[in-house]
Chain A
Amino acid sequence: GAGVSQSPSNKVTEKGKDVELRCDPISGHTALYWYRQSLGQGLEFLIYFQGNSAPDKSGLPSDRFSAERTGGSVSTLTIQRTQQEDSAVYLCASSPGQPWDYEQYFGPGTRLTVT
């Protein structure tokens, strides 16, 4: 079946530009996560969506980062005025979201390079 998809797969942008990263979760999954993975590091939680509830934005590193999820499905992560330290792989994951069923299914990621 269809898994989590992300686009673009690679993005090179100049410092100061805005970028939008897209995530299409698995159909029916109510929970959606964004993570950032820097070279040689673990995954850093950014934001969490669950159904129609207000998102948990506690992991966003600065106010330059924002995300939305339209219609409980597709999500967009926006980074404004990109900085070189934003260079990383941005991963999206979706989950059935049930308390007893917290497996996450990851997309292939978007590799962002800020020059």
Chain B
Amino acid sequence: AQSVAQPEDQVNVAEGNPLTVKCTYSVSGNPYLFWYVQYPNRGLQFLLKYITGDNLVKGSYGFEAEFNKSQTSFHLKKPSALVSDSALYFCAVRDQKKSSGDKLTFGTGTRLAVRP
């Protein structure tokens, strides 16, 4: 079984400050890890992914995430937050086993609020 935990329902940060949205995961095998963002009444937009290799991955809109295998974490970061980053962020995991197919398991989401 696979699972994802996003321990914070909401993260508040001032514009221009760095932001971190936390994510930990559990899979039986090796993970593929993803971050998605959702704006009101919209679907999910892909931000970035970890497949293998370098533990620091860079994605869209200046976001990056660090994969830490020993801590089973994949925290989302951005050096300088924008008001337009305010949205709902989801971390997701897929087991690399072929039997998992395309099934993604999502965390409960973290609402990011960036104040001007």
Asked whether A and B interact, the reply is no
Q: Which A residues lie at the B interface, using CB under 8 A?
A: none
Please report B residues at the A interface, Cβ cutoff 8 Å: none
